[in-house]
Amino acid sequence: MAAKLSRKKRVKRRRLPFSTVRNRYLRWGLRIVVGFFMLTVVWVLALRFVNPPVTWLMVQRGFERQGEGKTWKITKDWLAYDALSDNLKRAAMAGEDARFTEHWGFDREAIVDAYQRNKTGGKLRGGSTISQQTAKNVFLWPGRSWVRKGFETYFTLLIELLWSKKRILEVYLNVVETGDGLYGAEAAAQYYYGKSAKSLTKRQAALLIAVLPNPRRWSPVKPTAFINRKANTIVRYMGHSRIP
């Protein structure tokens, strides 16, 4: 009798066929992918109309300041697209993404140029567009990895599809890090120039954009020779920038 019960238990515990297990995992995998897609589409659509209140970078910088014995500081003040100075919009395009209004999120020429320059050695240069930087700043965590780059590509495609170019540029200019604890053009303009980003001159706008690669190291009011040269170049090309 005990032997019969043992055989019955072994029959009940028999492993499922591989095809059944595979199909089960495939179904769960598909559900996860579809759920992620739906969630991110809703998220991106919501931020087309609602201004993002905070970003991962802002939170990280806040903790870094606390670790250095400083107070938590996030200074930002949102300006709508039409309120932002046209000088600032042109400076951003001239300094960061000259073909912003022409591409769909990725500037092939800039990527190829960056690749060729990086092959020669020296300091690495990126080919990120304003759209890519906006996707990175708003939706992703700071850092460098292939996984993060994949998500950046995905969110770049989404915002290009679901947002207007005006909205992308507006969000970029309002969330980008512009100094120690400063985020967005308005906070930077008030801090450095004592005026609103509504009324920046060409030179002031160019200097704000020129320091963006490392705004905690460089200052637009105390520009190095390098920053001055970069700002001069930005001013020179601002006239070619056709803002959206």
CATH number at residue 207: 1.10.3810.10
How many folded domains does the chain comprise? Answer: 1
- Hey, what are 29's tokens? 């995998």
Handedness of CA 194, 198, 200, 205 (dihedral sign): positive
In a domain, 71, yes or no: no
C-alpha span between 139 and 54 (Å, rounded): 10
Q: Above 60 in pLDDT, residue 148? A: yes
3-state secondary structure of 75: strand
In a domain, 224, yes or no: yes
Give the model's pLDDT for residue 215. 95
Confirm whether pTM is higher than 0.75: yes
In a domain, 28, yes or no: yes
Q: Counting every residue, how long is the chain?
A: 244
Q: Which residues pair with 183 in a beta bridge?
A: 177
28-84 per-position pLDDT tens digit: 777 888 888 899 999 999 999 999 999 999 999 988 888 888 888 888 899 999 999
In a domain, 103, yes or no: yes
Q: Where are the beta strands (DSSP E) in 119-240?
A: 177-179, 182-183
98-125 per-position pLDDT tens digit: 999 998 988 877 666 665 565 555 444 4
Percentage of residues in the chain with pLDDT exceeding 70? 83
